[in-house]
């Protein structure tokens, strides 16, 4: 009996030791779960924050000519900055139609949108080592996180000056007349140009194309290499209609709506032509004196091109010069704005307009209130507020009030093409009540700083500076203004614009 009691006491003591041992293991496991679980939670938080930043960083490398290694390097750097270095990083994007391309990225069909967006998904995995859980045979585990980043796609409208002055530098031979260099600010409309500077000739010439427009086109084509089609889109707007048969008017025109097809954009730019108005009749009048929107015509002496005339002003009794000028900067900007709002609208894209002009604004859209009024008969002098072809102060032709610093209100007698352009730019750039579009401007040639009278010689430059750097108010996303004395400077200017656009996207 005593032996049995002793044995039972020893058995109970052994059971207690086993229970205590199992309890200790459980306690360690519980402490380890809490401690290492907390570590796991903290490390996942680091990885998730890092992967969110990494996805954004990777998407900023999503541009033409990128390498998948660039995306991975950007992602890894941001993971390291967040103290969450990963053992494996996978980069996914839409590779629909280009699966054979080897660039260290993977295809993810969920990122294929219509229209295309610059979406990048980054997936990262890392190993978390445990302390207490090692005791129960769990030395480590892997955690993963994924995030999608997006870089802003670009919707860009190129607004190109195609007025007759864009042929001023076509002929550069030994017999060229220096008086015909329109960059000197001298009005050569009744000079003695050679045929090469005739838009009807240089537009059709392969050996001697219209200059500086041809250089502008070539630089614009080079600029396209910074765009990433089909993720970016480009539209082309010209100052003037593009017919080559003498029926073109000075009305601005959309040559190509926003397109993600690079070939179509290249074709649209290559097709740009200098404004070719109709031929003047021998008596200096237009072939059709009732032509509703045009007054400028080509002066010919036999078959020799002599320049341009404005019969409505020089030979008609109504003297309506607003029919003749062809640099409608304000109207062209408004048309550019409209291109962002038709078809497939992408509010998430970065909206940008690049305007290149070769002189001051001297034309406007037709005032809406005046369109319903009957055309004045010959011999009748219109009131200052009545201009059938646009706003044009009657006392200070060509359609400018003579003072670029004087901002006139719409409806006043001195409201001119410069005022119209500034008002249009405000509407286009205003992020609250307007388009919220970033505008870059380029002034090309001597007329920018040495414009024809009347008015300030640098009226064009003041206007282009305002459009790029002030229009729309302080809350607008402003661009930059550049002056190019000649077309040789355009390549560097377009490169600076490309870099600035990318900076805005990165922000």
Q: 């408004």: which residue's tokens?
A: 334
| Contact assessment for residue 447 and residue 183, using Cβ atoms and an 8 Å cutoff | yes
In a domain, 115, yes or no: yes
Does 423 lie in the same domain as 341?
yes
When mean pLDDT is compared across 67-71, 164-168, 463-467, the lowest value belongs to 67-71
Measured distance CA(369)–CA(302) in Å, rounded: 42
Measured distance CA(169)–CA(490) in Å, rounded: 15
Does 307 lie in the same domain as 375?
yes
End-to-end CA distance of the chain: 89
Specify the length of the chain in residues: 507
| Number of domains comprising the chain | 2
In a domain, 4, yes or no: no
Between 37 and 283, the more confident residue is: 37
Tokens in use for 108? 């993810």
Q: How confident is the model at residue 371 (pLDDT cuts 50, 70, 90)?
A: very low
Domain at 182, CATH number: 3.40.50.410
pLDDT for res 191: 39
When mean pLDDT is compared across 62-71, 168-177, 417-426, the lowest value belongs to 168-177
In a domain, 175, yes or no: yes
Domain's final residue, options 151, 170, 194: 151
pLDDT at 325 over 60: yes
pLDDT at 385 over 50: no
Domain's final residue, options 131, 151, 171: 151
pLDDT for res 315: 46
Domain span including residue 41: 15-151
Domain's final residue, options 96, 118, 151: 151
pLDDT for res 101: 56
When mean pLDDT is compared across 39-48, 289-298, 403-412, the lowest value belongs to 289-298
Does 285 lie in the same domain as 188?
yes
Does 325 lie in the same domain as 186?
yes
Does 217 lie in the same domain as 75?
no
The predicted model gives 33-40 an average pLDDT of: 71
pLDDT at 12 over 70: no
Q: pLDDT by residue (tens digit) across 261-276?
A: 999 999 999 999 999 9
- At residue 301, the 3 state secondary structure works out as strand
Does 188 lie in the same domain as 74?
no
Does 251 lie in the same domain as 219?
yes
Does 178 lie in the same domain as 89?
no
| Contact assessment for residue 173 and residue 148, using Cβ atoms and an 8 Å cutoff | no
The DSSP secondary-structure symbol of 217 reads H
In a domain, 335, yes or no: yes
The predicted model gives 435-448 an average pLDDT of: 94
In a domain, 1, yes or no: no
Assign residue 456 a region (left: φ > 0; alpha: ψ between -120 and 50; beta: otherwise). Answer: beta
In a domain, 35, yes or no: yes
In a domain, 337, yes or no: yes
pTM for the model: 0.79
Q: How far is CA 460 from the centre of its chain?
A: 21
Does 354 lie in the same domain as 407?
yes
- At residue 63, the 3 state secondary structure works out as coil
Measured distance CA(434)–CA(65) in Å, rounded: 34
The predicted model gives 192-213 an average pLDDT of: 79
Does 187 lie in the same domain as 140?
no
Q: How confident is the model at residue 2 (pLDDT cuts 50, 70, 90)?
A: low
The predicted model gives 288-292 an average pLDDT of: 49
> Which one, of 189, 138, 199, 200, lies nearest residue 167 by Cα?
199
DSSP for 88-140, please give it.
EEEEEE--TT-TT--SS-EE-GGG--SS--EEEEEEEEEEEE-SGGGGGT--E
Per-chain mean pLDDT for the chain: 79
pLDDT at 207 over 60: yes
Between 144 and 312, the more confident residue is: 144
In a domain, 415, yes or no: yes
Does 344 lie in the same domain as 465?
yes
Does 364 lie in the same domain as 321?
yes
């Amino acid at each position: 009996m005593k032996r049995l009691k002793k044995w039972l006491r020893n058995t109970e003591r052994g059971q207690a030791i086993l229970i205590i041992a199992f309890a200790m293991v459980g306690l360690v496991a519980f402490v380890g779960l809490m401690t290492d679980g907390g570590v796991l939670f903290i490390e996942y938080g680091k990885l998730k924050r890092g992967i969110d930043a990494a996805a954004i960083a990777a998407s900023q490398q999503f541009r033409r000519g990128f390498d998948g290694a660039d995306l991975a390097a950007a992602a890894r750097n941001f993971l390291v900055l967040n103290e969450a270095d990963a053992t494996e990083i996978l980069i996914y994007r839409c590779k629909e139609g280009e699966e054979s391309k080897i660039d260290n990225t993977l295809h993810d069909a969920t990122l294929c949108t219509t229209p295309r967006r610059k979406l990048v998904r980054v997936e990262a995995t890392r190993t978390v080592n445990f302390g207490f859980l090692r005791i129960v045979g769990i030395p480590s585990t892997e955690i993963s996180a994924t995030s999608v980043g997006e870089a802003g796609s670009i919707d860009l409208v190129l607004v190109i000056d195609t007025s007759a002055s864009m042929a001023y530098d076509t002929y550069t031979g030994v017999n060229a007349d220096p008086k015909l260099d329109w960059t000197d600010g001298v009005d050569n409309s009744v000079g003695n140009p050679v045929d090469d500077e005739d838009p009807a000739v240089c537009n059709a010439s392969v050996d001697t194309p219209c200059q500086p427009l041809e250089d502008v086109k070539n630089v614009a084509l080079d600029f396209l290499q910074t765009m990433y089609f089909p993720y970016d889109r480009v539209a082309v707007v010209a100052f003037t209609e593009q017919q080559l048969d003498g029926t073109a008017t000075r009305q601005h025109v959309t040559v190509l709506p926003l397109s993600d097809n690079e070939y179509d954009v290249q074709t649209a730019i290559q097709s740009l032509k200098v404004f070719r108005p109709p031929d003047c009749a021998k008596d200096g009048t237009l072939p059709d004196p009732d032509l509703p929107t045009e007054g400028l015509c080509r002066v010919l002496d036999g078959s020799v091109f002599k320049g341009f005339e404005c019969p409505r002003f020089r030979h008609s009794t109504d003297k309506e010069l607003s029919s003749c000028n062809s640099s409608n900067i304000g109207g062209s900007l408004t048309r550019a704005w409209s291109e962002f709002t038709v078809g497939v609208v992408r509010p998430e894209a970065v909206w940008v307009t690049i305007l290149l002009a070769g002189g001051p604004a001297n034309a406007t859209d037709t005032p809406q209130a005046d369109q319903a009024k009957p055309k004045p008969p010959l011999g009748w002098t219109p009131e200052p507020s009545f201009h059938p072809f646009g706003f044009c102060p009657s006392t200070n032709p060509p359609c400018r009030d003579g003072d670029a610093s004087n901002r006139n209100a719409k409806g006043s007698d001195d409201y001119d093409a410069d005022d119209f352009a500034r008002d249009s730019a405000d509407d286009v750039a205003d992020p609250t009540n307007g388009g919220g579009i970033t505008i870059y401007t380029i002034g090309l040639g001597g007329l920018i700083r040495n414009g024809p009278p009347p008015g300030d010689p640098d009226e064009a430059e003041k206007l282009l500076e305002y459009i790029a750097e002030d229009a729309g108010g302080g809350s607008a996303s402003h661009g930059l203004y550049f002056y190019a004395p000649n077309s040789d400077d355009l390549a560097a200017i377009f490169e600076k614009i490309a870099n600035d656009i990318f900076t805005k996207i990165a922000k």
